[in-house]
A and B are shown apart, each in its own frame.
Chain A
Amino acid sequence: MSDAQMKPGTWARDIAMALGTYVPGFARPPARFVSERGQPVHGIVGEFATPAAVYHAAEKVRDAGFKRWDVYSPFPIHGMEEAMGFRRTFLPLLVAAIGFSGAGLGLLFQYWVSAAAYPLVVQGKPYGAWEPFVPIMFELGVLPSAFAALFGMLMLNGLPRFHHPLLARERFLSVSDDTFFLCIEAEDAGFDADRIRSLLEGAGARSIELVEDDA
């Protein structure tokens, strides 16, 4: 794929990035930004002292229109999903689509086998009787639904992962104690180092740093 097809924030780039990260033998697409040391840039992280500070910073980043960013905190912050402007996940639609296709395929295959391909009289029942199909349709509905929910969730949130660029930074480790971080990633279509720096400064970050992707 050419660079033009690999614009940030597109599905093609996301899938290529996921393949390059998790599947051996695949190369990740070239980094959009490179640091002075020549390392790919993961993003810019701001450090905040209080939950309130990071909460209001999140509101500003949300209103500035960023899409690829996250807040890191030692504990859940009430109302953060609204401050970050989370949209509802489309996972339910994925589950519904897979569940109903599973049930539909279950019906189709059973009807085809018992009424067309290999009709057998079982207990004197009609060939195309729908009743015995139902348990199998149910199973083929719920099992793929459960798989779609679990693996779709993992696919969408990028878990499991063995490493995260932020974890290479000594200062970030206090996120499990008393510090709050907000990181805007280079994969965001509107990534602009100067703009982000002034945005985070304006939001009251006590330190702002560039995070390199050292993986």
Chain B
Amino acid sequence: MTQAHAHMGPHQPAISDEAYQERLDRLARHPALGEQFTRVRPGEFASMQHLLLGVGAVGLGLTVVGGFVYDIRHALAAYEIGVLAATAMGLGALFFVMVFHMTNAGWSVTLRRQYENLASMLPICMAMVAVALVIEIVSGGVLLRWIGMDPHSDHLLHHKSGYLNTTFLVIRFAVYAGLWSFLALRLRGWSVEQDTSGDRWLSRRCRFNSGWGLLAFALSTAFFAFDFLMGMDFRFYSTMWGVYYFAGAAFSSLAALAVMFAFLKTRGKLGELVESEHLHDHGKLMFGFTVFWAYIAFGQYFLIWYGNIPEETAYFIFRKTGGWAILGQVLIAVHFFVPFFLLISRVPKRNPKVLGALAFILIAAHVLDMVWIIKPAVGASGELAPMSWWVDVAAVLGVFGVLGFFMLRAASSVALVPMKDPRMEHALEHCNYV
């Protein structure tokens, strides 16, 4: 151990450098870690990437068209449905990467690189959110209507104006973007660096940064959700809101990654590295966060329903009238009951293709959740065009297409698993036994 590492841990590691080198040599010879399973040949996914980029370009183009057919509210809402759903996926992936580092998880090592790739979409998501933020500020409040309002015109807004002002919003956004980009890119960067160097102290550094990172993540995610979702109705407040967004983030990131694993497995990648055993546990997390979302979503609704305070209930009352009530019931069905009964059995969790197919339902549920939050806010600020749903579809496909392109590019540029992770052998032998 060099002096530079002295501050980072015990002076004597559990196994000597020679023994550790032997472990790396064993890994280097391991047939499962062969080039054909862990590397994407240049251009191997090109057709899928071009397809995704095409869908992305057409989708985002149609979103702009939607802005002219209807108005900027409809287009921006559609765009934010896509962007905030995708941001949630990146955040969930970042959360799991940090949890895996913090808990020194062995089973998930062969999965972790894809989590890192998805988390590394956060800087792109932040750029997309920045576009929305600029539009909001330039047009004086489209969905975040408080931006264009005189604080003295509303008592509650005046009361909250210390927090709800444009300058502070931009500062906060810069903090979120900087923090998440740093964590996502550095945790992936150190992991990729370890692929070649095999330096086990990089794992230690990841764990150290995951510690404060998780705390900062919890706070920043909550406030991001307050700013960009709850802020659409400045009178409404819910202390559960951050947890609600986080629950959707964890839920949707796992679904997106299940699709990614199914895609890689069907293309002959990963082989024995990601087998039924790993996907079984990945599926258990999907099931767990299905229940977690239902638990906190109901908890939030339940307390507001019981408390019966007008500023809080207005949010739900508006979403329980007209067509929104049906949407809300569909949301409860596809975000909780359908995944609950599909994922409770072990059989679908152990089959990559079935799990990947089910994950599309979960992704759809998450997008629907964003629709249910954001779309009524359009109606609250004026007439809602009933046929404008095609803009939402276009924008969601557009954003997901662009990010899918970058996700595949990220996956192709590095190894598909952390090749020299100290815990790799645990993951290779991972077994559920029951």
Within 8 A of B (CB), among A108-122: none
Contacts of A134 in B (CB 8 A): 298, 302
Q: How many residue pairs bridge A and B at CB < 8 Å?
A: 13
Pairwise interchain contact A123-B302, C-beta atoms closer than 8 A: no
Report whether B298 and A123 are in contact in the complex, using a CB–CB cutoff of 8 Å.
no
Interface size class of B (residues with CB under 8 A): under 10
B306 interface hit (Cβ, 8 Å) = yes
Contact with B along A174-196 (1 / 0, CB 8 A): 00000000000000000000000
Q: Mark A119-153, 1 if CB is under 8 A from B, else 0.
A: 00001100000011011000000000000000000
Q: In the complex the two chains form, is A131's CB within 8 Å of B308's CB?
A: no
Q: Does B163 contact A (CB under 8 A)?
A: no
Nearest to A96 among chain B residues (CB) is B344
A135 to B302: give the CA distance in the assembly, Å: 10
> Can you list, as one digit per residue, whether each of B181-193 has a CB less than 8 Å from chain A (1) or not (0)?
0000000000000
Interface residues on chain A, size class = under 10
How close is A81's CB to chain B, nearest CB, in angstroms? 8
B305: interface (CB < 8 Å): yes
CA distance A161 to B60 in the complex (A): 68
Q: In the bound complex, what is the Cα–Cα distance between A123 and B308 (angstroms)?
A: 9
In the bound complex, what is the Cα–Cα distance between A132 and B305 (angstroms)? Answer: 10
Q: Which residues of B contact A131 (CB under 8 A)?
A: 301-302, 305-306
In the complex the two chains form, what is the Cα distance from A131 to B301 in whole Å? 9
User: Which of B260-306 touch A at CB < 8 Å?
Assistant: 298, 301-302, 305-306
Q: Which residues of B contact A132 (CB under 8 A)?
A: 306
**Contacts of B433 on A, CB cut-off 8 Å?**
81
In Å, the complex CA distance between A135 and B301 comes to: 13
Please, which residues of chain A bring their CB within 8 A of the CB of B344?
A: 96
User: Closest CB of chain A to B312's CB: distance in Å?
Assistant: 14
* Residues of chain A within 8 A of B308, CB atoms compared: 123-124
Q: How far is the CA of A81 from the CA of B434 in the complex (A)?
A: 9
How long is the Cα–Cα vector from A124 to B344 in the complex, in angstroms?
38
Closest CB-CB distance, A191 to chain B, in whole Å?
Answer: 29
Q: Which residues of A contact B305 (CB under 8 A)?
A: 131
Further pairs besides A124-B308, A132-B306: 11, Cβ < 8 Å: A81-B433, A96-B344, A123-B306, A123-B308, A131-B301, A131-B302, A131-B305, A131-B306, A134-B298, A134-B302, A135-B302
Question: A-B pairs with the 8 shortest C-beta distances?
Answer: A131-B305, A131-B302, A134-B298, A134-B302, A123-B308, A123-B306, A131-B306, A131-B301
* Complex A-B: 13 CB contacts under 8 Å: A81-B433, A96-B344, A123-B306, A123-B308, A124-B308, A131-B301, A131-B302, A131-B305, A131-B306, A132-B306, A134-B298, A134-B302, A135-B302
